[in-house]
Structure 1
Amino acid sequence: MGQAQSAENRNLSREGVAKELANRFAEKCFTPLELYSFKEVFKSLADQEQQVRHLKEDTIARFLEIPDVLGVSPVLFQMVSYIGAFPFLQDAPAVLGLEQMVMVVTIMTDRYRRVLAKASTNRRKLLFKSLAVYDRKLNDKADEAVVEDGNAQKDDKTPVSQHAAGFAVDAPGDDEDELGADDDDELVLAAFDSLDYVNVFKHGDAPSNHGALIPADNWRNLIMLLLLVAPLDAQESLSSYANRVAPDELESLKATADCILASFLGFESSPGIKYSRFNSIIPTLMPHIFDGFTPLFEHFLFSKDLDFHKHKDDDPAAPATLPPELVQPLLQDKASIMNLNVLSQISFFIPGSNLFRKLRLLYSGEEDGFSMGSFETKVFNWRAPTILLVSGTRLLERDHRTTGSESAFFTTLPAKRFPSGSQVEEETLTFGVYLNQPWKHTHRECFGDEETILFQLQPVHDVFRASAFNKDYASFIKPSSSSPIGGISVGCPPPPQSQAYRRSSTIALGPVSLVLDSSFEYGCFTHNYMSHGGAFQGSVARKFDFQERFEISSLEVWGCGGDEEAKHQAERWAWEAREAEARRRINLGTGDIEADRALLEMAGLIGGNRSGGSMM
Structure 2
Amino acid sequence: MGQESSAPARAPSHEQLTKELARKFAEKCFTPLEIFSFKDVFKSLADHEQHVQYLKEDTITRFLEIPDIIGVSPVLFHLVSHVGAFPFLQDAPAVLGAEQMVMVITIMTKRYERVLAKGAADRRKLLFRSMAIYDRKQSGLSEDQGHSEAKGLVGEEGREADEDSDSDDLALEAFDYLDYGKFFKQQDSPPLHGALVPADNLRKLIMLLLLVAPLDAQESLSLYSDRVSGAALDSLRSTAECVLAAFLDVERSPGIRFARFNTVIPSSMPFLFKGFTALFEHFLFSKHLDFHKHIDGTKNVPLPIEVAQPLLQEKASIMTLDVLSQLSFFIPGTSLFRRLRLLYSGDDDGFSMGSFETKVFNWRAPTILLVRGTRLSDDTSHKSTASESAFLSALPPKRFQSGSGDESESLTFGLYVSQPWKHTNRECFGGQDTLLFQLEPIHDIFRASTINKDYVSYTKLSASTSHAGISFGCPPSHNAQTYRRSSTIALGTISLVLDRSFEFGCFTHDYTSRGGAFQPSAVRELDFQERFEIESLEVWGCGGDEEVKYQAEHWAWEAREAEARRRINLGTGDIEADRALLEMAGLIGQNRSGGSMM
Does TM, scored on the shorter chain, surpass 0.5? yes
Aligned to 2:155: none
Q: Secondary structure at the match of 2:465?
A: coil
Q: Deviations over 1:420-450 (max 9, x none)?
A: 0136121100000011111111111111111
Q: Deviations over 1:457-503 (max 9, x none)?
A: 10001111111230010111112222242111011110126979998
Q: Secondary structure at the match of 2:85?
A: coil
**Identity value in percent:** 65
Question: CA contact under 8 A between 1:490 and 1:515: conserved in structure 2?
Answer: yes
Cα 1:90–1:229 change in 2 (3 A) is same
1:402 Cα shift?
2.5
In structure 1, distance between residues paired with 2:502 and 2:597: 43
Cα 1:141–1:367 change in 2 (3 A) is farther
Aligned to 1:159: none
Q: CA RMSD in A?
A: 3.1
Question: CA contact under 8 A between 2:427 and 2:454: conserved in structure 1?
Answer: yes
Residue 454 of structure 1 pairs with residue 436 of structure 2: yes
Question: CA contact under 8 A between 1:421 and 1:547: conserved in structure 2?
Answer: yes
Q: Secondary structure at the match of 2:477?
A: coil
1:381 Cα shift?
1.2
Pairing 1:6-45 to 2, within 5 Å after superposition = 12-45=12-45
In structure 2, distance between residues paired with 1:500 and 1:493: 10
Aligned to 2:206: 223
Question: CA contact under 8 A between 1:81 and 1:95: conserved in structure 2?
Answer: yes
In structure 2, distance between residues paired with 1:595 and 1:372: 31
Residue 293 of structure 1 pairs with residue 276 of structure 2: yes
In structure 2, distance between residues paired with 1:607 and 1:38: 70
Pairing 1:63-82 to 2, within 5 Å after superposition = 63-82=63-82
| Stretch of structure 1 that moved more, 28-37 or 205-214 | 205-214
Residue 388 of structure 1 pairs with residue 369 of structure 2: yes
Cα 1:518–1:242 change in 2 (3 A) is same
Residue 440 of structure 1 pairs with residue 422 of structure 2: yes
Question: CA contact under 8 A between 2:79 and 2:127: conserved in structure 1?
Answer: yes
In structure 1, distance between residues paired with 2:252 and 2:483: 53
Structure 2 gaps of 5+ residues are 1-5, 153-157
Question: CA contact under 8 A between 2:196 and 2:258: conserved in structure 1?
Answer: yes
State the 4+ residue runs in structure 1 displaced beyond 6 angstroms: 6-11, 170-173, 497-503, 587-592, 601-604, 610-615
Aligned to 1:258: 241
Residue 469 of structure 1 pairs with residue 444 of structure 2: no
Question: CA contact under 8 A between 2:568 and 2:581: conserved in structure 1?
Answer: no
Cα 1:337–1:87 change in 2 (3 A) is same
Question: CA contact under 8 A between 1:413 and 1:507: conserved in structure 2?
Answer: yes
Residue 539 of structure 1 pairs with residue 521 of structure 2: yes
TM-score, normalised to structure 1, is 0.88
In structure 2, distance between residues paired with 1:182 and 1:10: 28
Question: CA contact under 8 A between 1:528 and 1:546: conserved in structure 2?
Answer: yes
1:13 Cα shift?
1.6
Pairing 1:118-157 to 2, within 5 Å after superposition = 122-141=122-141
Cα 1:373–1:52 change in 2 (3 A) is same
| Stretch of structure 1 that moved more, 591-600 or 463-472 | 591-600
Structure 1 gaps of 5+ residues are 1-5, 147-169
Aligned to 1:352: 333
In structure 2, distance between residues paired with 1:204 and 1:502: 61
In structure 1, distance between residues paired with 2:595 and 2:351: 38
Question: CA contact under 8 A between 2:370 and 2:537: conserved in structure 1?
Answer: yes
Question: CA contact under 8 A between 2:217 and 2:281: conserved in structure 1?
Answer: yes
In structure 2, distance between residues paired with 1:548 and 1:258: 20
Give the counterpart letter for 1:556 in structure 2.
Answer: E
Question: CA contact under 8 A between 1:496 and 1:502: conserved in structure 2?
Answer: no
Q: Deviations over 1:373-406 (max 9, x none)?
A: 1111111111111111100110023333234111
Aligned to 2:349: 368
Cα 1:293–1:498 change in 2 (3 A) is closer
Give the total of aligned pairs: 582
Q: Deviations over 1:65-97 (max 9, x none)?
A: 011111111111111111111111111111111
In structure 1, distance between residues paired with 2:95 and 2:142: 32
In structure 2, distance between residues paired with 1:492 and 1:126: 41
Question: CA contact under 8 A between 1:141 and 1:271: conserved in structure 2?
Answer: no
Question: CA contact under 8 A between 1:175 and 1:211: conserved in structure 2?
Answer: no
In structure 2, distance between residues paired with 1:337 and 1:301: 37
